[in-house]
Structure 1
Amino acid sequence: MRVAFTWRIAALLALSFASAQDSETASIPSIGGGNGCPKIAPGPVSFNYLAGQFSPQALPDPIAIESIRQTLSLYALAIDGRDFEVLRKVFTTNARANYSDPIGVLNGVQAIIDTLPPGLNTFVSTQHHLGTQYIHVCSLTSAVSVTYFQASHFFTPYTGVGNPVDNSKVLIDRAQYQDTWARQRDGTWKITNRNLVRMGPTTLDGGIPTQ
């Protein structure tokens, strides 16, 4: 605990002497050189080899881990709620995001905000369910995370539990987000690099592979 406290005091001192010309959302300068993060950026890393990139953490930072987890949850809320401007709270201004096919690589949060809505809006609604997760805090200012997700895309609106739809009305995507994070001057964490890696084919509800 004493080591963690010392790190936090050092971070506060770094904030106090930060250059006034930097923006309030810029990432904090690293303290002590290299950050020791697993090399998943720009990536992506095949999920078959991903586990080998990580090692157990002797002193995990629960505050940073929870902050990153909350931001990932905010992403799901923003996407499913179609409030895409909220993504500015999730990604840095110059973030890189590789959403794989059919979107590809997007450079900058504005490109992410502009590009995601047209595809998502072809569905009546979506639900992004986050599952298995590993968050590795590398330093006071850097972290990486891997988050499994299942995204359901609904072609028709909900009309009551008595009116279920057939398999062709729900498209399901199963994949993982590989994210690189930077701590911001206000203490929040934002994604600087994202890779979406699919772990199998997209399917229609009921497990029928799409063509």
Structure 2
Amino acid sequence: MDVEAPEDTSEHIHDTELARIVRVNEEIKGIVATAFKINLMALNAIFLAKRAGHAARGFGVLSNELRRFAQDLTREMTQLREMTANTVSTVTGVVQQKRLNGILDEAVKRCPEPVSGEARVQQRGHEQLADKQGCLSALDKRLRRSLDDTAQLVELGGVLARSAKIEAAYGGNFSASLMQVSSDFGDVICLIQESLERLRHLRLT
């Protein structure tokens, strides 16, 4: 007796889950690239503050803090990327187990007489599926918590950028240049916040 599983449904689920994970990883990669950009911007701001001298001392301090922020953000996003690196195999395992369970359930349904041990095999298959789904759900929860921590860090970056803009007004002849740099900081941090918001809507489960 040949029993075929509804492959179309399973493949669709698989493709949807994988597409979601790809989008998660792409957003994370984008934030890592932006954090690197902030690091370069902070180095430029530190250089400008030194050229401006004593008048831009406060701006220089804030620029150093923004550089640390960029480094902390890069570490956070690296952890997020590592967290999602193995999700492809986890999702594949869930889909394959669903498919196997479907084949077994259909075979049992079509079999005219009970087969010894079939209930035990079915139970084991459903338990294995529950375990795999549990792993994926736990990973999603870890991702949510990590995103919350990262969002708080980015809020701090926004405060630093706004403070740098205030300090830029005291930069003397370099005030306009410092103001532009601090505005650029704010714009880039807004982009990061938008990426984080998109990540919040991309669940792994």
Q: TM-score, normalised by structure 2?
A: 0.26
Q: Which has the higher helix share?
A: 2
Q: TM-score, normalised by structure 1?
A: 0.26
Q: Which has the higher contact order (CA 8 A, sep 6+)?
A: 2
